[in-house]
Amino acid sequence: MDDRLLIDSQLQEYRREIFMRVYIRDAHSQDIPAILDIWEDYMSLLHQTNSHYWKMQDAADAFAAYLEKTFEMEEVRLLVAVDTTRKVTGFTLSHMECLPEWFGARPIGFIRYMAVDKDYRGKGIGRKMTVDAVRWFAESGIERIELFVLNGLDAGEFWGKMGFESFMDRRFLDLS
């Protein structure tokens, strides 16, 4: 076996090992600082790839307050991925909403945020969080899940692998 194939094989084995050592659980208030660290990195990435995405100076405080409120909302689920050292390595925020009456007033699932710590990307954590979120939606009677994918990120490929299909092109006009 040539060296490159051996390295690829070892890397795949390492990734499987990491995947098995991360578990998904409901988030708690004490997870918010770690979630904010991942969110800050995520927001920087969004701004780099989509310059019209910016955040207010006190955005982290506002996002933390929003996360705190989600613990009281039955239709929202905030999950974290945690490794064996109890480090939060990713989070996802999903919620249920109802389509307008003219679309049948059916409930749908919506994955609002998903982000993985930059040092843990590509190791199956996003897939594991998605599987858990999809399971929650299915157990709640949801038959359709939607999400937004921003242009310029690798996320489109990830969501395609997870079975999500593109059905909308969202546009903007900057009036500043």
Cβ neighbour number for residue 98 with a 10 Å cutoff: 12
- CATH number where 19 lies: 3.40.630.30
The predicted structure's pLDDT at residue 150: 77
The predicted model gives 63-82 an average pLDDT of 95
pLDDT-derived band at 10, boundaries 50, 70, 90 = low
Q: What pLDDT digit, counting tens, does each position of 129-140 carry? A: 999 999 999 999
Separation of alpha carbons 110 and 125, rounded Å: 19
Single-letter amino acid, residue 145: I
Number of domains in the chain: 1
Is 26:78 a contact under the CB 8 Å cutoff? yes
Helix or strand holding residue 91 (H, E): strand 88-98
Q: Is the pLDDT of residue 15 over 70?
A: no
Separation of alpha carbons 93 and 69, rounded Å: 12
- Domain contains 29: yes
Predicted TM-score (pTM) of the model is: 0.81
Which among 110, 60, 120 has a CA at the least distance from the CA of 88? Answer: 120
- Domain contains 103: yes
Separation of alpha carbons 46 and 38, rounded Å: 12
- Domain contains 42: yes
Q: 169 vs 39, which has greater pLDDT?
A: 39
- Domain contains 118: yes
- Domain contains 145: yes
- Domain contains 22: yes
Domain residues for the domain of 99 are: 3-161
The residues that bridge with 68 in the sheet, in sequence order, are: none
Q: 146 vs 53, which has greater pLDDT?
A: 146
- Domain contains 61: yes
The predicted structure's pLDDT at residue 117: 93
- Domain contains 168: no
Q: What pLDDT digit, counting tens, does each position of 31-58 carry? A: 999 999 999 888 887 777 776 666 677 8
The predicted structure's pLDDT at residue 104: 82
